[in-house]
Structure 1
Amino acid sequence: MNGTGNAVWGRTEQQDFRSRVRGTLLGVAVGDALGAPLAGLSLDEIREGYGAEGLVDLAPAYGRRGAVTHLTQLTLFTVDGLIRAQVRRDTGAWHPPTDLHRAYLRWAATQRDWGPDERRKEDGWLAREEWLYARRDPARALLLGLGDETMGTLEAPKNPGEPGPEAAARSAPFGLLVGWEPQLVAQLAVECAVQTHGHPAAALTAGVYAVIVHGLACGDSLDGAVQRGLALLAVRPGHQPVSDALQYALGAVRQGMPTPARVEELVAAGTAEGVLAAAVYCALVGEDVRHGLRLAVNHAGPSAATGALTGGLLGALHGETALPPAWLAELEGRPTLLELADDFAMEMTQGPALHGPAGASPGWLARYPRA
């Protein structure tokens, strides 16, 4: 399977891939939604508000249970950009970072506009989803990085001092490019991260997270996927803080029962690499998806980002059916998430039939315009 349309996918392969794509996107969203009510709270405040065990179920945020933050919104636009890049490839215009940047600019428009502009057919269907026009406390680096048309690049990154986890938390979909070589997955995630988060560790964290998801989506174990990510990191300049954080997470797994204090220790200052380290730890030590996600959000750090990263790992590892049905039932935007997940799986497995040399599906090109 090379992900470029030349592979032959069997029915079982297709079903497994679709389950992992759905699991990844739903996992990101449900982890994000679980952590959303805890923004800015200390562990003591969490326990005071939700009991001795902390938050154990979805709770209201932004006026409803199951509400997602900007992290899920951006993850959806990452998927949209990846599909659009594949569709545009037929035209000979093949530069995925540009297509992702255009997708992120479409997200930025949702943070400024009252609602979708039906006249802009070139925006595709996702940008016409009205529920995405809710502003959910986007990080300043995102608004600054996408505040004009200039695209951040490796040579001229946006916000070069920004170490936060937001770029990593939108990067799970890169890992679903299962036909790509891991180093290319990492490179694309890094090039797209610097469009808003130019700090080397933040960008490399996005890259290694995508590689770990890639390993899981290809059927690897979580420990094996992390080891592969570490091997790829080792050749990258500036990798040491990210590598050290991941190694620390792997070591923490062997140090007794998991506790919120251990998660807080890994999260540390809330930098991208600390949040990823905590997510890897929670995914490794969680008895099941529910336990891993609860562990990921009950701390004083960026709970939504830790939950989103953990959910992406667990969803890619186990597939859609392992996620708690009661949480999915209340999840904001679930129909959109499923529709986009299935479109992505279809594009990656049947792309040539939708827009190949033999002809194009007008319906598909209306959803994902080449313009």
Structure 2
Amino acid sequence: MELTADGPTAGRGDRARGALLGLAVGDALGAPAENLRPSEIRRRWGRIEGFVSDDPAGTDDTEYAIFSGLLLARHGSALTVSHVERAWHHWIADLDEGPFRGAGFSERGTLENLRRGLAAPISAQHRHAWSDGLAMRAAPFGVFAAGRPAEAARLVAVDGRVSHDGEGIYGGQAVAAGVAAAMVGAGLASVIAAALSVVPMDSWTARSLRRAVTAAQRPYPDRLTGERAVRSAVVIGGYPWTDLAPEAVGLAFGAFTAARGDFREAVLMAVNMGRDADTTAAVAGALAGALQGASAIPRAWASAIGPVRGSCLPSMRGYHVLDIAELLTPDDAEDAPGGRGAPPAPDREHAFTAPPGGPSPLPAVSGARTRRAGR
């Protein structure tokens, strides 16, 4: 299935920048609210309407999305599970980076399995194979396979077989397909339909997504009531883990639907619903950014996003999500602000130097960004 535009007009390169910058913005906005209940968020900040940190930064969501985007840029539709597994070893599992620097339990379980010598798909057989760790890094696949939701879903499942299974895979597929549809301006209903078309209709993911979207489409007397309705439609009360893929994906699509695709409203609703707020807002931001383009992202938010710090994946330090947008849409890069003409970053040269024992499995970036987006 290929989709054509019937929504807002924007170029493919602008939508790519919108999707990946939107992911990073949502991640940074939601990070302080991660694992909090809405009542706790209101008690600390009232309603979050922007960054609540003086030094906002992305988390594992952005760094793993960059990692997967670089891998996809190198291999494209020829990507195999072996490519993904090898990259996990070279750039994550086999590096001596000291204590684990922070990511979800799915990543921790995968790394432990890989370090024990287990291979995919057995490496994904751990307690948290259903987490949202694949959904959080799925947007680059939708950017690459713009207008081809089925191909985006196929490719993200290849990536996910190293770390996820079952509902964890389905969550990634729904996000990748939704972004692929949004990348050609397919319209709100078509984006949702694309996400549902690539996962089993009786799956937990599909049920959560349908429930959230249905709740989001109803009229409410005020914004808070609407947020509570969407959250109640999806969240399992009392369950201690917040990184459930069906839940996070459902909440993200619910926020995207309630906002009618508006970037600011979608991301802020996702943040203020709490739970795994960084991932939920990252996914909502990727969907809305792909649909509306980078110009829909408030300039102050875009300007706060710099190259990632490697706080989770040290090997990704210094790369910017806009680099990934350029790599995944090379035909549109000449028109991108700070695109191919941007100066190289000297401190980035190390990042994809071949590790001991083999060549780099990932591409270099021709135009590295040493400044924050939007400046």
- For normalisation by structure 1, the TM-score amounts to 0.74
1:15-59 CA distance string (max 9 Å, x none): 8111111111101100000000112322222111102xx211112
Deviation string 1:284-340 (CA, Å, 9 cap, x unpaired) is 222631121111011231111101110110111111111111011112327722223
Distance 1:222 1:191 in 2: 27
* Cα pair 1:160 1:197 within 8 Å, conserved: no
Q: Is residue 139 from structure 1 mapped to residue 104 from structure 2 by the alignment? A: yes
User: Which amino acid is the alignment partner of residue 210 of structure 1?
Assistant: A
Aligned match of 2:48:
55
Question: CA 1:211 to 1:154, structure 2 compared with 1: closer, same or farther past 3 Å?
Answer: farther
Question: What displacement does 1:156 show?
Answer: 6.7
CA RMSD for the aligned pairs? Answer: 3.2
Task: Give, in angstroms, the shift of residue 97 of structure 1.
Answer: 2.9
Which has the higher mean CA deviation after the structures are superposed, 147-156 or 34-43? 147-156
Q: Which residue of 2 aligns with 1:74?
A: 64
Correspondence for 2:181 among 207, 211, 215: 215
- The CA deviation at 1:109 is 5.4
| 8 A Cα contact 2:124 2:161, kept in partner | yes
**Pick aligned residue for 1:172 from 116, 136, 139:** 139
Are the aligned partners of 2:12 and 2:332 in contact in 1 as well (CA < 8 Å)?
Answer: no
Letter in 2 for 1:97: V
For 2:42 and 2:146, the matched residues in 1 are separated by 44
**Alignment partners' CA distance in 2, 1:179 and 1:293:** 22
Aligned to 1:246: 209
Sort the Cα spacing of 1:347 and 1:134 in 2 relative to 1 into closer, same or farther, 3 A: farther
Map 1:1-371 → 2, pairs under 5 A: 16-51=11-46, 54-60=47-53, 64-86=54-76, 94-106=78-90, 108=92, 113=97, 135=101, 137-147=102-112, 148=114, 153=120, 157-159=124-126, 161-178=128-145, 181-198=148-165, 200-234=166-200, 239-257=202-220, 258=223, 259-269=226-236, 270=242, 271-286=244-259, 288-333=262-307, 336-346=320-330
Aligned to 1:356: none
SS at match of 1:166: coil
Q: CA deviation at 1:170?
A: 0.6
Unmatched 5+ residue regions in structure 2? 3-8, 237-241, 309-318, 335-348, 362-375
**Counterpart residue identity of residue 227, structure 2:** P
Q: CA deviation at 1:75?
A: 0.2
Q: Distance in 2 between matches of 1:24 and 1:105?
A: 28
Contact 1:81–1:102 at 8 Å: present in 2 too?
no
More off after superposition, 34-43 vs 226-235: 226-235
- The CA deviation at 1:104 is 3.8
Please say if residues 66 and 330 of structure 1, whose CA atoms lie closer than 8 Å, have aligned partners that are also in contact. yes
Give the conservation status (yes or no) of the 8 Å contact 2:326–2:332: no
* Identity percentage of aligned residues: 24
Task: Give the TM-score, by structure 2 length.
Answer: 0.73
Report the Cα distance in structure 2 between the residues aligned to 1:67 and 1:141, rounded to whole angstroms. 22
- In the alignment, structure 1 segments of 5+ residues that lack a partner are 3-12, 115-132, 351-362
User: Using the alignment, how far apart are the partners of 1:300 and 1:95 within structure 2?
Assistant: 35
Which digits, 9 at most, give the CA deviation of each residue in 1:192-213, with x for residues without a partner?
2232222x11111111211111
Change (3 A) 1:155 1:102: closer
Query: Structure 2 CA distance, aligned partners of 1:203 and 1:154?
Result: 12
Distance verdict in 2 for CA 1:165–1:21, change over 3 Å: same
Contact 2:23 2:281 in 1 (8 A): yes
Residue identity matched to 2:323? E
| CA positional deviation for 1:272 | 0.7
CA distance in 1, matches of 2:100, 2:323: 20
Conserved? CA contact 1:80–1:103, under 8 Å: no
CA distance in 2, matches of 1:84, 1:367: 15
Tell me the distance in 1 between the aligned counterparts of 2:139 and 2:324: 14
Q: CA separation of 1:142/1:328 partners in 2, compared to 1, >3 Å: closer, same or farther?
A: same
Q: Tell which deviates more after alignment, 242-251 or 322-331.
A: 242-251
